[in-house]
């Protein structure tokens, strides 16, 4: 079955406005033609006009019988086969010229772990480096750019990185998430000191074993509210 993404034009009067819901969903993955780990997202190939043959965010029309979040979850599952555990409303995009007919898009953003992504591929869906996208349909480049900006700002003062990690993780795995989101290397010793002093992590009695020295596993301290400075502190 051919899957579609953002809404195609519907018969409408000149002053009619339709409401659509789209979702930007991020995960960590190996970047194309690289050994680097970065932030990637799924896009859906449009199979009809407008913008036939271009990639776009998964989404669809708002169902008047559903809440906005329910529509976001449903259309994301229908177009990409994904069901993230973290889903948050991002912004409303409603420029007059963003679509041939007047469409306001309520955009959600989500995080998903690699082990939550189905092994089977979904027709017309491909994963892209979120920081190096081709020209997308509608204003979806602008939407992804805004979502990335929001992610990079929020990672410093919230537990949003937890959405890309299992319940228990090593400090190296946590640092890898921060480095992928911020697109910069972090000094391992400084990072360890800052996150351990933040009081946001609880060390467990378990260790990750393998070819290297065993690494202690941590979990987030759910009883601590993070300050605006966040676990990485103020940037200079």
Distances 57 to 2, 4, 25, 199, 209 between C-alpha atoms, Å: 16, 10, 9, 37, 39
pLDDT band of residue 11 (cuts 50, 70, 90) is very low
> What pLDDT score was predicted for residue 119?
82
pLDDT band of residue 15 (cuts 50, 70, 90) is low
50-69 confidence digits (pLDDT tens) = 999 999 999 999 998 999 99
Question: Whole-angstrom distance between the N-terminal and C-terminal Cα of the chain?
Answer: 51
* Domains of the chain with CATH codes: 18-154 (3.90.79.10), 158-220 (1.10.10.10)
Average pLDDT over residues 24-45: 92
Count of positions (residues) in the chain: 236
Burial class (CB in 10 A: 0-12, 13-18, 19+), 61: middle
Concatenating the DSSP letter of every residue in 123-184 gives TTEEEEETTS--PPSTTHHHHHHHHHHHHHHHTTTSSGGGGGS-SSB-HHHHHHHHHHHHTS
133-166 confidence digits (pLDDT tens) = 999 999 999 999 999 999 999 888 787 888 899 9
Phi, psi of 13 (to 5 degrees): -80, 170
Of all residues in the chain, what percent carry a pLDDT higher than 70? Answer: 88
180-195 confidence digits (pLDDT tens) = 999 999 999 999 999 8
Bin 31: left if φ > 0, else alpha if -120 < ψ < 50, else beta.
beta
The pair of structure tokens assigned to 11 is 């018969």
Beta bridge partners of 18: 103
0.85 surpassed by pTM: no
């Amino acid at each position: 079955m051919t899957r579609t993404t953002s809404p195609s034009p519907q018969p409408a009067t000149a002053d009619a406005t339709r409401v659509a819901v789209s979702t930007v969903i991020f995960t960590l993955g190996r970047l194309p033609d690289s050994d680097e780990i970065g932030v990637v997202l799924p896009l859906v190939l449009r199979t009809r006009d407008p913008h036939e043959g271009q990639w776009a965010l998964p989404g669809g029309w708002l169902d008047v019988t559903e809440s906005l979040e329910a529509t976001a979850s449903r259309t994301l599952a229908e177009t990409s086969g994904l069901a993230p555990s973290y889903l948050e409303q991002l912004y409303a995009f409603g420029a007059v010229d963003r679509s041939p007919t007047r469409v306001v898009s309520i955009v959600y953003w989500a995080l998903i772990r690699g082990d939550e992504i189905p092994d089977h591929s979904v027709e017309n869906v491909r994963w892209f480096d979120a920081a190096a996208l081709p020209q997308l349909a509608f204003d979806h480049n602008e939407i992804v750019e805004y979502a990335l900006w929001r992610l990079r700002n929020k990672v410093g003062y919230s537990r949003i990185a937890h959405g890309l990690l299992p319940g228990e993780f090593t400090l190296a795995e946590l640092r890898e998430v921060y480095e992928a989101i911020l697109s910069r290397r972090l000094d391992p010793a400084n990072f360890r000191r800052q996150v351990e002093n933040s009081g946001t992590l609880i060390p467990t009695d378990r260790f990750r074993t393998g070819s290297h020295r065993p690494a202690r596993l941590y979990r987030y301290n759910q009883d601590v509210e993070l300050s605006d400075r966040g676990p990485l502190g103020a940037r200079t």
